[in-house]
Amino acid sequence: MGIAPDRYDELRREWIHNHWTWSEIQRSRMEKLDIQIRRRYAATILAAPSRRDDLARNPLPARGHMSVIGQIEWCGFWVMLLFVPLGWLAGKGIYRLTLALIPDTLRSYPIVAFLWASLVPGSMIVVFYDPSPGLGSTVLWAWVAAQLPAMLLVAGLYGIAEGWLAVPGALQLRPAKLPPLNISPVDAAAILGADDLTAPSLIPSAPTPNLGAMTPPMRNEARP
């Protein structure tokens, strides 16, 4: 399996570490970033870090949830699975597609753009949705309509959960890639001087003798 490209992994890892607040989901994300960072280091340096920890904890459905925080995460998992499963999957897909544009096209992940975009279809549903009588029309169509704003909302929340708030530009509507700096090449020798390439001599030179004061005496100065 190839090594994933560096997409501000260390900045995102540090942000998740500082804000995970005992969340096992966030700790799993931090461990996955640790694995990517270690593998990238191992591919570029000889004294590679240890690979014994390259095993992130199991995903949420495959691990226990005996703690209070684990139960809260488990309840949130089932709520999203029941009410917005299509929006959840589509939002995660949008996140991965947008991630592939960084850093070549986008400088950072556009969290604000996705969160604001989710308000547009959400407000339209509230204003224009007028269900006809019947349980199927009231519940089913509302469930279907909720997938679109949920898709954009989940895409924005994934950006927060993955630590993109630590990367400059995440709060912009479109964090475009910075233009390259037009720096003209500078001849270092013209500023610092050319390097002295003279090799040291094999026989050390004799020390310079001390000739004393070389200033001739003045006319009115007493001679020794």
pLDDT digits (tens, 9 = 90+) for 155-203: 999 999 999 999 988 888 888 776 665 555 555 556 666 666 666 666 7
In this structure, the number of other CB atoms found within 10 A of the CB of residue 194 comes to 8
Residue 1 has pLDDT above 60, yes or no: no
pLDDT recorded at residue 160: 94
Give 115-144 as a DSSP string. HHHHHHHHHHHHHH--PPSSHIIIIIHHHH
pLDDT recorded at residue 186: 58
Q: Which residue has the tokens 């694995």?
A: 35
Domain spans in the chain, listed from the N-terminal domain onward: 84-178
54 versus 10: which is more confidently predicted? 10
Q: Which helix (DSSP H) or strand (DSSP E) does residue 150 occupy?
A: helix 147-161
Amino acid at site 56: A
Alpha-carbon distances of 132 from 28, 56, 123, 125, rounded to whole Å: 45, 49, 19, 14
Q: Which residue has the tokens 């500078």?
A: 186
And the tokens for 208?
């310079």
Percent helix, strand and coil across the chain, each to the nearest 5:
55, 0, 45
pLDDT recorded at residue 196: 62
pLDDT recorded at residue 12: 93
**Which residues lie below 8 Å from residue 160, measured CB to CB, with a gap of 6+?**
111
- The model's pTM is 0.71
pLDDT recorded at residue 177: 74
- The least confident of 14-18, 72-76, 131-135 is 131-135
Identify the band that residue 61 occupies on the pLDDT scale cut at 50, 70 and 90.
Answer: confident
Identify the band that residue 90 occupies on the pLDDT scale cut at 50, 70 and 90.
Answer: very high
pLDDT recorded at residue 93: 95
Residue 117 has pLDDT above 80, yes or no: yes
Torsion of CA 159, 163, 169, 170, to 10 degrees: 30
**Which residues lie below 8 Å from residue 168, measured CB to CB, with a gap of 6+?**
107, 108, 175
Q: What gap in Å lies between CA 50 and CA 44, rounded to an integer?
A: 14
18 versus 224: which is more confidently predicted? 18
